[in-house]
Chains A and B, each alone.
Chain A
Amino acid sequence: MHFLVKRLELQEWQIRLLLLGFGGLGAWSRYAVGLLLHGVTVPFPLATWVCNMIGSFLLGLLRMQAGTSSRWSHPSIQRLIGTGYLGAFTTFSAFGLESWNIVQSEGIWIAGSYVLSSLGVGMSLVWVVNRVR
């Protein structure tokens, strides 16, 4: 893919067209994780949480490549995979909606554990990626 971007020197409109594809795939992947983990609660629903954690970890890895000589460092790749795929794979709106739904269905403590674990685990994963390399 690096090869593709480098050789073609994508125009802005081409990147936007590709962004539609990457964004669509990211959202589809999130939907697929939702189907796989449907009904899995710990005790809060796990699907969005898992997408947000995996996506945050992978974005950390990707952003660490920016500015290096890696094949992942190309600005178009960063934009397509970082904003496009991982941006669509993770979600803040569903996180917000679920937080309130959990307050109603499970109570404030479970909802609090959902919010705090999203924040805590997400921050830790990115922090670790930032430290390791």
Chain B
Amino acid sequence: MIWLYVMIGGALGTLLRDGINVSLGAWLKRRGNEFPLPTTIVNVLGCFFIGWVSSMGVPDEVRALVVTGVLGGLTTFSTLMWESIQLLNARRYGTLAISWALQFGIGLAAVLCGKWLNGSL
């Protein structure tokens, strides 16, 4: 039944991401800001929590629900790729560099932060 936990978690994580997309997206649009902030936020947050939860030694069901499900549903690689290509096409190299620095730099470091919180570094 592990797959059911994955599905439920994935559904919840996706809804959370969509909520952040919609609310933050509307706010950014009002300000005329085109930085891919929603994707950056969900990916960095997701990285921190996956480092934290995966190093807790939780049961398989909880891992399926939270790690594979919620955090997998919350974070996205496809939108990161799409937005990166759009920034490249628009020649907005500075914005792309900041977005990558935040997601690949701070995001990957956040995994370690999460692990460190459990003393498993």
Contact = CB atoms under 8 A, between A and B. Distances in A.
Given A19-B18, A24-B11, A59 B81 contact: yes
A101 B21 CA distance: 30
B5 to A, nearest CB: 9
Interface residues of B, number: 51
A52 B50 CA distance: 17
Given A79-B18, A83-B17, A83-B18, A24 B80 contact: no
Interface stretch (A3-11, A36-44, A86-94): A86-94
Interface majority SS (helix, strand, loop, mixed), chain B = helix
Interface in B5-30: 6-15, 17-18, 21
Contact of A93 (B6, B15, B72): B72
Nearest to A79: B18
Interface of B: 2-3, 6-15, 17-18, 21, 42-43, 46-47, 49-51, 54, 64, 67-69, 71-82, 84-85, 88-89, 103-104, 107-108, 110-112, 115
Interface of A: 16, 19-28, 30-32, 34, 51-52, 55-56, 58-60, 63, 79, 82-84, 86-97, 99-100, 115, 118-119, 122-123, 125-127, 130
Given A86-B78, A92-B76, A94-B68, 16 more contacts: A24-B7, A27-B7, A30-B72, A56-B78, A56-B81, A88-B13, A92-B80, A93-B43, A94-B50, A96-B46, A96-B47, A96-B107, A97-B51, A99-B111, A115-B104, A123-B84
